[in-house]
Amino acid sequence: MDKPILRIFKIGGKVVEDERQLLAFLKSFSDIHENKILIHGGGKWVSEMSQRLGIEVTMVEGRRVTDAQTLEVVKMMLAGVANKNVVSKLQACGCNAIGLTGADGNSIKSEKRPIKNGIDYGFVGDVKEIDATIIKQLISLSLVPVFAAMTHDGHGQMLNTNADTIASSVAVGMASGFDVELNYCFELNGVLEDIDDPESVIPDIDPVKYNDLKARGIINSGMIPKIDNAFEALKSGVKAVRIMNSKDMDKLANGALQVGTVIQN
Amino acid sequence: MDKPILRIFKIGGKVVEDERQLLAFLKSFSDIHENKILIHGGGKWVSEMSQRLGIEVTMVEGRRVTDAQTLEVVKMMLAGVANKNVVSKLQACGCNAIGLTGADGNSIKSEKRPIKNGIDYGFVGDVKEIDATIIKQLISLSLVPVFAAMTHDGHGQMLNTNADTIASSVAVGMASGFDVELNYCFELNGVLEDIDDPESVIPDIDPVKYNDLKARGIINSGMIPKIDNAFEALKSGVKAVRIMNSKDMDKLANGALQVGTVIQN
């Protein structure tokens, strides 16, 4: 039997924090008719508020070191401001959004990242378990889950978790019940053949093509972990992963046949 | 046919902001076996964070004037920090909490309070509509709704709303489907015969007794609006309203016959 479709979208802080871009994105997101989930970041706001409050911002390999004070700021800006802005604006578009963190409904449990190679990320959680049942039940009430990038450890501790990781974990977790399409929305038009030509989008990538592109040095190093993660998700049952420009959400909602780069096995 | 029981509890900022008190309260709240909803404030944190950020705190008749900047702080501290602390700590107690504002699931719609007698409360919402269906559906999934005291206007605007008002509005909204008991938890043991004697709790009040107590000048003026609101809720179908000490939650959870002051028609 065919499984129902579930379309998962991840947007980063750049979209969430720009009111005009956010509204345009959310309007198109509301127009998507299939089951859907939104996952958002909001890291720039966390950094800005940390600075306003005199809390030092420390990043290691692009990941935020989250001490106790920074964790409070993450709750404030991600679970508070960003999530409620997104939810209330989706409601205004007629989309029955419900804001969640991993603690809500015990939907995403994580484990505090252990200290490794002398790096202590603090209150950062690595995803351990998705409760696909509760997420499915919320969807069955015609609700649209909107996840802020936070999880919990089940023992009363909220943890900061990378939004890309939450998106792929939720996608994999939902794959047994749905045909899942995972869409990473960012500021480029997709995976580019030529990083200096925004129009040089590679429309689709499969493992053979990926190896060829890598061998020819066409895919830039920043994109490689993203594509590796995409193939990991595909291996775990996700049907397709798309890397696209958040500004192209209207095209996708309008049924355009080709948007961004689609990665498939 | 008997309706299922629904027990609604409202706690103020004083409980939410004191980690030890909060944990004790939430542990006992988790032990309540009937359907339940928690509504919380967190006003002191809003005031403290406003001051830290250099935002002026203005109160008129005990109500916060909520300008655009203050609204952001309310999102941060109520929907963010307070709500996620409560939800993650309930999860640790084995209670499957789901944090909500009125925007989430479009559960509580409000209207921006009009300027009256020259007083502009800013982004403050007066409750207009409770969606009892969605709240009931969440409860039917064995979830425990935990409301932060914020609502939305349906047009993309979050609004600050008094937690007592949300509690009574939700209680009234749920009364057609449930036998609702509404519990206001605060720092006194109940309605007192003698404000200087914390043990002088009046165990129950009905309209006749209330008029008598008022005529004899026994009920102090600060308590009168609370009791008037309780009778309003009873008129709208709520079965009982209790005014109790949040520290007595363990007694209630353990089935004590008399806790606080019970107001009934």
d(C-alpha A61, C-alpha A118), whole Å: 13
- Helix H or strand E encompassing A186: strand A179-186
Domain map (residue ranges) of chain B: 5-263
Measured in whole angstroms, the distance separating CA A126 from the mean position of its chain's CA atoms is 14
Question: Under an 8 A CB cutoff, do B72 and A87 touch?
Answer: no
Task: Give chain B positions within 8 Å (CB) of A129.
Answer: none
What pLDDT does residue B254 have? 94
What pLDDT does residue B128 have? 98
What pLDDT does residue B2 have? 86
Along chain A (265 residues), what's the average pLDDT of each consecutive run of 10 residues? 93 90 97 97 94 94 91 98 98 98 98 94 97 98 98 98 95 98 95 92 96 89 86 96 96 94 94
Measured in whole angstroms, the distance separating CA B76 from the mean position of its chain's CA atoms is 19
The answer to whether residue B258 scores a pLDDT higher than 80 is yes
Does the ipTM exceed 0.85? yes
Mean pLDDT rounded to a whole number for chain B = 95
At the topology level, CATH places domain A5-263 in: Carbamate kinase (3.40.1160)
A interface test, pick of B75, B100, B146 with most A CB neighbours within 10 Å: B75
DSSP B193: S
A39 in Cβ contact with A147 (< 8 Å): yes
What pLDDT does residue A171 have? 98
d(C-alpha A219, C-alpha A217), whole Å: 6
pLDDT digits (tens, 9 = 90+) for A201-241: 999 999 999 999 999 988 877 788 889 989 999 999 999 99
Mean pLDDT rounded to a whole number for chain A = 95
User: Chain A contact for B51, CB < 8 A?
Assistant: no
Span B156-168, average pLDDT: 96
Task: Give chain B positions within 8 Å (CB) of A87.
Answer: 101, 103-104
User: Chain A contact for B53, CB < 8 A?
Assistant: yes
What pLDDT does residue A195 have? 87
* pLDDT band at residue B197 under the 50/70/90 scheme: very high
User: Chain A contact for B133, CB < 8 A?
Assistant: no
Q: In b/e form, how buried is each residue of A101-136, taking b as 16+ CB within 10 angstroms? A: bbbbbbbbbbebbeeeeeeebbbbbbbebbbbebbb
